[in-house]
Amino acid sequence: MDEFLFRSSQKLDSLQIQLGLVASHSKDVFHHYSEQSKLIISECWNSSKTLEFKEAFREIWFYLIDVGEHIRYKVQFYGDPRRIYFSVLGIFGRNWTRREISFGLAGFVVGGILGIVIGQAFNRKESIIRYMQAVQCRCYAGVESILVAEDAVAPYECGENDVLIDVKASSVQVLDKFICDGYGRTLRKILRKYYENSSDLPVTLGRDCTGIVTDIGKNVKRIDIGDEVWLTVPFWAQGTMSQTIVVPEIRVSKKPSNVGFEGACSVPYSGCIALDALEKCDISFENAQEKRVLIHKGCTPVGCILIQILKYWGAEVSSTCNKRAIPVVRALGADDIIILSEELEKNERNDYKELLQEIEMRKKFDAIIITSDYCSTDEKLFKSSNCIVTTPKKLPSDSYGFLRKFLFQWYIWLQWRFEIFTGSSSNQFDEVHMCHSTLDQLAALVKNGHLQTVVDKVYLPQDIDLAFSHLESSRSIGSTIITFR
């Protein structure tokens, strides 16, 4: 142990000696370089070029001082009140007293200020507020919360990519009822902070409309003022059931000229939903001839369009409907009709067996498209691997708690910032099929006579309660329309 301590003390002494040598050497090196630096700086400061620069700087400095003194003298000379006073007397004569000149100058100043204020007041652009009639949902309390507002603020100008439309007719959709029950309320509340075409309560109802263009943005190319158009909007956007609306150009297409405003209004929203359902079923014009398709409740607005498109494409179409709708469904082209009992029309589940027995008696269908919401939770009863429901399903975001809603809002914000950064527009939210290209495809079908409009009843805005009652009844066939003409 003593030997270990002895050797340790020797090593420590040796380390101290080495550290002292290093410190001494470092001090000598620092002193050497500092002396060299001082020498270099002294040589540069006393060099001929530095002396020339200092002399030039001194001359400029004294010149600036002389100019400043000259300006100060001129200001004091010409700004002398006595000199100004005598100059004014020389111009206007010596009959003016100091008091009169003082009052004149004060009047000139006060009058100038008043003139500027009055001019600014007249030049100020007054905000234009126009009112219109609109069918709105004021709270998420069901159909009872719908009212016809006579003082809704009407848009009067549109953005660079928007179109201003004078609405002639709008259709009543099942989705409007869902919105009154709170469908999409969370998404709508978040989107209103970032997107102009979305807003929270009150929500204007209506998902499509027909009308006449009254104004367009400077970037609009496909649409002109005076065009008769039709359009459709997604669930999170403000609706179309009002006298005037502003929508992005991407949602608008020219209306077929061979149908009127009320008749054409039965096609845009329902047609977009129908084509989207066929795309999900992987059915197109090229392969439809080999398909057997069942349209459940073919008398709905979407069902009427599906039957016609599938028949035009050459598919074998079967449809369920009530007795009252048999002539219409047959005229639309259905090859086979399954009659629904009154109990099924009233959504009695005990009568599903009767419907299933009728379906099992037929050959297997390649696709089943359900256009009614009553059996959306019982798709398995149809035993089809290709079953599509066209009515809206419950959105998960509507039941989010505080934390999930907070995270969802951040996701929307990040997407919005990304759109601004890239200059793109991906604000679709599973509604990409509602665009002008789909509407153009539907317009071609209507113009060529392959797609007929089916309108059941037309109501005025103040009869919106009757319109919803008729839409939900078993006697409804085709579309229910609200007209603003």
Do residues 87 and 153 both lie within one domain? no
Predicted pLDDT of residue 88: 62
Do residues 338 and 367 both lie within one domain? yes
Do residues 88 and 196 both lie within one domain? no
Range of the domain at 154: 130-272+454-483
Name, in order, each residue with C-beta under 8 angstroms of 442's C-beta and a sequence gap of 6 or more: 267, 268, 271, 272, 275, 451
Residue 187 has pLDDT above 80, yes or no: yes
Residue 291 has pLDDT above 50, yes or no: yes
Do residues 309 and 245 both lie within one domain? no
Predicted pLDDT of residue 156: 83
Instruction: Tell me which of 181-195, 213-227, 424-438 is least confident.
Output: 424-438
Residue range 304-349, pLDDT digits in tens = 999 999 999 999 999 988 888 899 999 999 999 988 876 555 554 5
Instruction: Tell me which of 7-16, 229-238, 281-290, 410-419 is least confident.
Output: 7-16
Residue range 358-385, pLDDT digits in tens = 777 777 888 889 887 655 445 555 555 5
Predicted pLDDT of residue 377: 40
The reply to whether 349 falls in a domain is: yes
Predicted pLDDT of residue 185: 86
In the listed set 385, 403, 424, which residue is the last one of a domain according to the structure? 385
Share of the chain above pLDDT 90, in %: 34
Residue 263 has pLDDT above 70, yes or no: yes
Do residues 86 and 147 both lie within one domain? no
Do residues 148 and 265 both lie within one domain? yes
Predicted pLDDT of residue 26: 73
Mean pLDDT of the chain: 82
The reply to whether 67 falls in a domain is: no
- The identity of residue 366, as a single letter, is D
Radius of gyration of the chain (CA): 41
The reply to whether 161 falls in a domain is: yes
The model's confidence at residue 167, banded by pLDDT at 50, 70 and 90, is: very high
Do residues 146 and 92 both lie within one domain? no
Per the structure, how many domains does the chain have?
Answer: 3
CA dist 63 and 69 (Å) reads: 10
The reply to whether 225 falls in a domain is: yes
Instruction: Tell me which of 40-49, 259-268, 370-379, 460-469 is least confident.
Output: 370-379
Do residues 288 and 268 both lie within one domain? no
- CATH (domain of 316): 3.40.50.720
Residue range 90-135, pLDDT digits in tens = 665 556 666 766 777 777 777 888 878 777 766 555 557 788 999 9
55-57-58-62 Cα dihedral, nearest 10 degrees: 140
Do residues 300 and 266 both lie within one domain? no
Do residues 147 and 250 both lie within one domain? yes
The reply to whether 437 falls in a domain is: no
The reply to whether 267 falls in a domain is: yes
**Which residue has better confidence, 118 or 161?**
161
Average pLDDT over residues 255-282: 93
The reply to whether 29 falls in a domain is: no
Residue 3 has pLDDT above 90, yes or no: no
In the listed set 354, 385, 416, which residue is the last one of a domain according to the structure? 385
